[in-house]
Structure 1
Amino acid sequence: MDASEEPTTPLVLLVTCAAWPGGEPGHGALDAALEARGLTGRWVVWDDLGVDWGAADVIAVRSTWDYDARLGEFLGWASGVGPALLNGVDVFRWNTDKRYLVELAHAGLPVVPTVVADTVFDVRAAADRFGLAVVKPRVGAGGRGLEVVADGRVWLPGPDSHPGPWVVQPLVESIHHDGETSVFVIAGHPVSQVEKLPSPADIRVHERFGGTMRSVELSREAALLAARAVATVVDLLGDEVVYARVDMMRHQGRLVLSEIELTEPGLYLDVLPLNAQLFADALAARAIPRTW
């Protein structure tokens, strides 16, 4: 092999959005972990027309947190960047529509009861059935567009509300005192866990709404449910799932799924820097040095 055939350092493109050009919170831990494994990591914005996606050995979607308002564009981008994209466009297409929760329930997983609602009348009927209900956009991120509905019989979307379609769920009472649990599954293995609590004035655990989080020891109960959830997705879709965050709540005495994030889940690197090491290992295992 002459000098011109020497393999180059594998390039990992970490995909973000224009609002987070430097990467997700705590990204420095991931940057350092990639460098330690001999990988070149670069944060790029998904809709930047100047990015050479074909130069990447691995493409990992990280903080594309504007996709929900531009889903068609985002899926179009994902379909065109090639096989280096982890999880991939078919997984993204399935995961960005919350009707997937109904599919997971039909597959036998414990899930927060979920009704798909295409019209105002569908929302009213489901919310009336649940009593105190939560209405969410079917395509949504970051808790945007969520509404708590006390009387479904008279519900109407407000002028600033999401226009639909929606999913409707009961308000799970434990959110007020137990919050939400998230388990990170990387390369098929549950690796870490956080607990998230909303503020007293909200039910959303996101920090922008006053939520807080802390790392906790990975529990057997949560790890088993997370692993089962990811395995079920693999069976349903027939695609590899390299990374996932499985969100769960306690409903009627047992842990149930509230979301499974396979597209752009925050790794909470500022709270769980170990996730950076494990995620970097998964990327390194899929990076093949180029000889051309």
Structure 2
Amino acid sequence: MPAEPAEPAETRVLLVTCSTFPDGEPGHEHLDAALTERGISSRWACWDDPYVDWSAAELVVVRSTWDYQDRLADFLGWAGSVGASLLHGADVFRWNTDKSYLVELAAHGGVPVVPSESVDNPVDLRAAIARHQPAVVKPRVGAGGHGMVVVYDAGTWLPVDPGPWIVQPLVGSVMTEGEQSVFVFGGRPVSQVRKVAGKDDYRVHEHFGGTSYDTPLDPEAALLAARTVAVTTEILGSELVYARIDLMRHDGELMVSEVEITEPGLYLDHVPGNAALFADALAARLRPEKL
């Protein structure tokens, strides 16, 4: 029987990914280099690799675990087993991987949120669609736009996904102005990406034909993103070392569409400068005497 692979010595940061992206998220080489430049040893590891000794690292940082929606119980179980070295921890992931957090965020006040309803059964789903139609329906647990549909007639449409669901109005500006993503590290907005849906589509994700652009940090978007992280921190009672806040303009007002804490893509292939800023945020969490 082959021996289990040993954890490389002096690995201070384990960057967590999935088997679809074993080498890390797109543009990972920029982050790898930024950590090396700061004297921080790191490597990428799949969250479900049974041979990884997670306790060997000072920090375990979830990055591109983009299969969690299909195995959420396993993923949260893994997160709960890692311990205090994991940013941001299983409780935060449990909250953030269920899009019903948008309803809680809106009820808490302090930030405008795209109107959202959480529904658990087809009867309530049909009623919610009728209130918002044309409505966007998406699984409460999901990533990358998978399972998202636009429904124009609540009376004739039948769901394919078994639910539960989040129902929102179709925000038309996503097909013109696009969606803004603001990266917030250590509570400070640092950069921004503009994502525009593909032709005749409403999804901004590149695998659905969307296009992403590096864009200057907009003061209005930055202020709303910082406020959103502050309110989310208050709700969770937990510091957020990094987050991505997605924003859309609805009825003329910039609103929060997603709060990405668990595994927000850093768009390193579009904004390579995020690598240095993210590495600085991680360095601030490590024992200074070892840097």
Report the secondary structure of 1:122's partner residue. helix
C-alpha separation in 2, matches of 1:59 and 1:187: 17
Query: Which residue is 1:166 aligned to?
Result: 165
The alignment's C-alpha RMSD in Å is: 1.3
Q: Given residue 116 of structure 1, which amino acid in structure 2 is its aligned partner? A: S
Aligned in 2, Cα 1:284/1:36: closer, same or farther, shift over 3 Å? same
C-alpha separation in 1, matches of 2:129 and 2:155: 8
State how 1:45-64 maps to structure 2 within 5 Å: 45-64=46-65
* TM-score, normalisation: structure 2: 0.94
Query: Which residue is 1:180 aligned to?
Result: 179
**Residue deviations 1:169-207, cap 9 Å, x none?**
000111110110000000110000010001112111111
State how 1:1-292 maps to structure 2 within 5 Å: 9=10, 11-108=12-109, 109-157=111-159, 161-288=160-287
Q: Given residue 146 of structure 1, which amino acid in structure 2 is its aligned partner? A: M
**Residue deviations 1:25-68, cap 9 Å, x none?**
00000000000011111000000000000001111100000000
Report the secondary structure of 1:162's partner residue. coil
C-alpha separation in 2, matches of 1:10 and 1:228: 34
C-alpha separation in 2, matches of 1:182 and 1:282: 18
Report the secondary structure of 1:51's partner residue. coil
| Cα drift, residue 264 of structure 1 | 0.2
CA contact (8 A) 1:9 1:290 kept: no
C-alpha separation in 2, matches of 1:167 and 1:218: 29
- Greater relative contact order (CA < 8 Å, ≥ 6 in sequence): 1
| Cα drift, residue 154 of structure 1 | 2.5
C-alpha separation in 1, matches of 2:22 and 2:208: 22
Q: Given residue 154 of structure 1, which amino acid in structure 2 is its aligned partner? A: T
CA contact (8 A) 2:14 2:43 kept: yes
CA contact (8 A) 2:11 2:56 kept: no
CA contact (8 A) 2:60 2:86 kept: yes
C-alpha separation in 1, matches of 2:175 and 2:20: 30
| Cα drift, residue 9 of structure 1 | 4.7
Q: How many residues matched? A: 281
* TM-score, normalisation: structure 1: 0.94
Runs of 4+ in 1 over 4 A off after TM superposition: none
**Residue deviations 1:66-95, cap 9 Å, x none?**
000110000000011011111111110100
Gaps of 5+ in 2: 1-8
| Cα drift, residue 118 of structure 1 | 0.4
Q: Given residue 144 of structure 1, which amino acid in structure 2 is its aligned partner? A: H
